[in-house]
Structure 1
Amino acid sequence: MARHSETVEPRGRARGRSPLLGGATFELRHRVARVAWSTCWILFARWTPPQLQPLRRLVLRAFGADIHPTAMVRSSVKIWWPGNLKMGERASLGPGAICYNVASVTIEDFAIVSQRAHLCTGTHDIDDPDFPLRARPIKVGRNAWVAAEAFVGPGVHIGEGAVLGARAVTFRNLEDWTVYGGNHAKPLRSRKKIV
């Protein structure tokens, strides 16, 4: 399954039927693959206790995820497509986190995405009458923390050691070793570098 990088073009338009009118955004083979992925996650991973972390990583890898052997993915996460997910050493996706990764999501070494945080790579072109899906990758830098229920929009790069506070929202890149909060997130203070 190919990764989606910058723009996802609607498939329905070629057949004269836009996604806005009920046409498909993705090819049939991709929709079938996503049904298989969702089914496998429910059957083999969703119910697993913390001790079965290796099984969850195995299921993710089977669908193309690039997951470090020490990365932690909680059983209650929602991942749109594993083939667009890369997680580094000790990287973590917390309980109930949503990873809507139509484009790639990279969570670097020691980065944390906390409970119910939302990483959203997709949006729509509101100026196009067909309302096509547009997707841009998200990167969460090394030692960064996306706190509980925060929202990260398409194309955002969260710098090394940056913190996006609880329930904060960002559609812009976050500078290294800076703490942000609010909606839209604003810098609050510097953070001491972790050696």
Structure 2
Amino acid sequence: MIQEMINGSIAVLTKPSAQTFEQHERDNLVWALIYAVIASVINGILSAITWPLQVGQIRAQLEAQNVPSDVIETTLAQQGNIINLVLSGIFSTIIGSLIIWGLIYLLGRAFGGTGSFGELAWGISLFSSPLSVAQTLASAIPLPLISGFISLALTLYGVYLVYLAIQSGMNLPARKALYIAIILAIIAIIFVCIAGTIIAAVSLALGGGFAP
């Protein structure tokens, strides 16, 4: 089954189209999750290996935010622990994948889609899993400009593939799939803004910014 998914990943990544997704479509939620978890384990291992290349930059960022030194050391130790990285990656991948796939499925049904949840999950996992590994490798590049450009390109390509996967997995025309992709992009932007605000507030609090 893994080989079949790898073949499907190669196909949809190199020849992206709704027809390609249809050719490699399966109704198998379990293996879609397994494929995503395998990618998360690989990401955890890669993150641990490349951690020494990033620790200096992250330390400088935390120090610039006036985060206490003991908090910095604790944070760096946790982020560089391979067991923590792998276990947290597996948990967050399972929960996150089900939430994201479920949201896309509900939107697809709202627009009249007839595909199954397993078909949609399978199609999305074929590209999201390898792209997540590519994102991890890109983040390890020590040159922020190049790393950011590659990450942005991978993100945009992923959005396009989601659009195609919705057509195939939910049996929807291109126009309706585009509407769903736009809604998802808006939700993602709102989520990132909220998460960024929370992180900034927490960093400020840790740095004593709320002290009288």
| TM-score higher than 0.5 | no
Q: Please tell me whether Structure 1 or Structure 2 has the larger radius of gyration of its CA atoms.
A: 2
TM-score (structure 1 length as normaliser): 0.26
With the length of structure 2 as denominator, give the TM-score of the two structures: 0.25
Relative to total residues, which structure has the larger helix share, 1 or 2? 2
Which structure has more strand as a fraction of its residues? 1
